[in-house]
A and B are shown apart, each in its own frame.
Chain A
Amino acid sequence: MDNSRYEIRISGSGGQGIIIAGIILAEAAGIYDGKYVCQTQSYGPEARGGSSKAEVVVSDDPIDYPKAMKPDLLLAMTQKACDAYIFDLKPGGILMVDSTHVKQLPTTRAIALPFTQMARERTGKEMMANIIALGTLVAITGIVSLRSLEAAVMSRVPKGTEELNKKALEAGIEAAKGITDKAQEIGMEFYESIADE
């Protein structure tokens, strides 16, 4: 049954740009890559600080159930989100965390990068952490092409912030390259299996 179905959950707290990250990823897949896509979200009544979650399901076939059942990839931008959703992850799925906020990793098989800290250092704005994380996520999974991702980011972000967002994307992609190189170095097959999918 629909082997091409790939489920991504992006989670964190309100104000981190979780849902917009989901929308950008969905637009990259649906509009620019021409795949079937469903993007759903759940959030509390608060404007900031509450838990926030966005899900993106990408498939080559029409999608029946629009939400993630067993995410192939979980991106957790807070400790709380990581703790809450880690057990939903598909066996062999990818856990990706923002190590600026996630200090306790539930597994050694995780991609931990300090997205928020990188955002502060590379762009001067912590709020760019979501775009950096998207860059890493896409570079590692290849779920959409990097060109599509860039096009989707550019069409969604406010005018005047294009350069900043480009910088953030590049930082994320670069970080991903560091990770995949390292994985190859130590002979981990973890990332190769992703490439096969």
Chain B
Amino acid sequence: MLLQGNEAIVEGAIAAGCRFFAGYPITPATEISEVMSYRLPAVDGTFIQMEDEIASMGAIIGASLAGTKSMTATSGPGFSLMQENLGFACIAEVPCVIVNVMRGGPSTGIPTQVSQGDVMQARWGTHGDHPIIVLSVSTTQDCFSITVKAFNLAEKYRTPVIILADEVVAHTREKIFLPHPGEVEIIDRIRPNMPPDWYIPYEDTSRGVPPMAAFGEGYRYHVTGLVHDSRGFPTQRPDEVKGLMSRLFRKINQHFFDIQMVEEEATEDAEILTVAYGSVARSARRATREARHRGIKAGMVQLVTLWPFPRQILEPKLRKLRAVLVPELNVGQISREVKRINQGVTRVETLNRIDGNLITPAEILSRLMKM
């Protein structure tokens, strides 16, 4: 099959069990809404075009609370509008998937050109201390499999998961192989198995993820954006406030090894390393192969999980390297993280491009040759 990245995201979502989509079309994410509008009804799902992105985010939270896996898709301007409700999904622990196909910004920016400017916004866009899972995609095949993974993580940890795509991967048509439905691992949220009267909706568990009842199944409970106690009602008691906040972090932090994903290319004996993500990772992969071809001991780590930042995977590698190169389509967002965990161990260099075009393999290669 020849699919656009955006179309593959839709196929991934449907394979993962997504049956509700609410969104507002926006370049370069429009194809996701467009394809969802006819793919979802075909599988007894629901597609709604909302009045804006604030409402879209609200609608998918509602659908998820009612027990349906749900998703929205947007680009920078719409992603900004979603931030408040995104925080609601974090604190109320509502699983959902938000796709942000990054365009050049800020504001309306360059709708049809590529950028990676929303990495930090995805991490800290909504206010308050909160954990969040952010994944990035770099090929059409990724768009399918990472979207499935995003739904699985959302369900498993009862959290919103953000997929950061960019204009290049979203619009690249590429040959991909879709697995048969039975071959895809699908994870569903844990539902309560006790009678409704015994159900404590925000009870602490060893995993830190309480079972989630669907509205309409007889389990009455309160959902709020206020900090709440284990029954879902607002609280200011320090022990309860701390209990909730620490559990929100703990449920993600204690599962880093499940959540943090990278792909590696020729890293075993690498002396210089490129750390890249999204479409730039494809340029980096090419540059790494060309560098190896010329006898340079180059390797590459492609970050699939951007947040929580895969420190545990990257940190041990840094100690064995002469230098690290971080190419990205912004003035330096992930490179700041690499520098933060590097703590001066090795040399971290940046390669930034903000003119609306993809960093080319030649640009990366010429830097690798000088390092």
Contact = CB atoms under 8 A, between A and B. Distances in A.
Contacts of B113: 42
Given A64-B286, A64-B289, A69-B360, A37 B112 contact: no
Residue among A39, A43, A44 with most chain B CB within 10 A: A39
Contacts of A30: 2, 174-175
Contacts of A160: none
Given A27-B2, A45-B27, A66-B168, 20 more contacts: A23-B173, A26-B2, A26-B173, A30-B2, A30-B174, A30-B175, A36-B175, A37-B173, A37-B175, A38-B174, A39-B172, A40-B168, A63-B174, A64-B361, A65-B282, A65-B286, A66-B282, A67-B168, A69-B360, A69-B361
B1 A31 contact: yes
Interface in A128-184: none
A1 interface: yes
A159 B113 CA distance: 33
Contacts of B172: 38-40, 66
Contacts of A44: 112
Contacts, number: 61
Report the contact-size class of chain A (Cβ under 8 Å from the partner). 20 to 34
A94 B360 CA distance: 22
Interface string B281-304: 011011001100100000000000
A63 B111 CA distance: 26
A1 B362 contact: no
Interface string A41-60: 11111000000000000000
A66 B174 contact: yes
Interface string B160-178: 0000000010011111000
A96 B248 CA distance: 60
B348 interface: no
B358 interface: yes
A34 to B, nearest CB: 9
A134 B343 CA distance: 55
A1 B289 contact: yes
B168 A45 contact: no
Interface of A: 1, 23, 26-27, 30-31, 35-45, 63-67, 69
B115 to A, nearest CB: 13
Residue among A36, A44, A66 with most chain B CB within 10 A: A66
A125 to B, nearest CB: 26
Residue among B2, B293, B361, B362 with most chain A CB within 10 A: B2
12 contacts: A1-B289, A1-B290, A1-B293, A23-B173, A30-B175, A31-B175, A42-B113, A43-B112, A45-B112, A64-B286, A66-B282, A69-B360
Contacts of B358: 67
B365 to A, nearest CB: 11
B206 to A, nearest CB: 42
Interface string B101-122: 0000000000111000000000
A42 B175 CA distance: 19
A45 B113 CA distance: 10
A20 to B, nearest CB: 11
Contacts of A23: 173
A87 to B, nearest CB: 15
A38 B141 CA distance: 12
Contact of A65 (B2, B111, B293, B361): B361
A36 B113 CA distance: 25
